[in-house]
Amino acid sequence: MSSNTIPEGFAAIEVVDAEGRPRQLGEVWTDRPAILLFLRHFG
- The rounded radius of gyration (Å) of the Cα atoms in the chain is 12
Least distance in angstroms from the C-beta of 27 to other proteins = 9
Least distance in angstroms from the C-beta of 26 to other proteins = 8
**Subset of residues 20 to 39 that bind other proteins, contact rule: CB under 8 A:** 20, 23, 25, 28-39
Residues contacting other proteins: total by CB under 8 A: 36
Burial class (CB in 10 A: 0-12, 13-18, 19+), 20: exposed
Measured distance CA(18)–CA(8) in Å, rounded: 25
Query: Which spans of this chain sit near other proteins (rule: CB under 8 A)?
Result: 1-7, 9-11, 13-20, 23, 25, 28-43
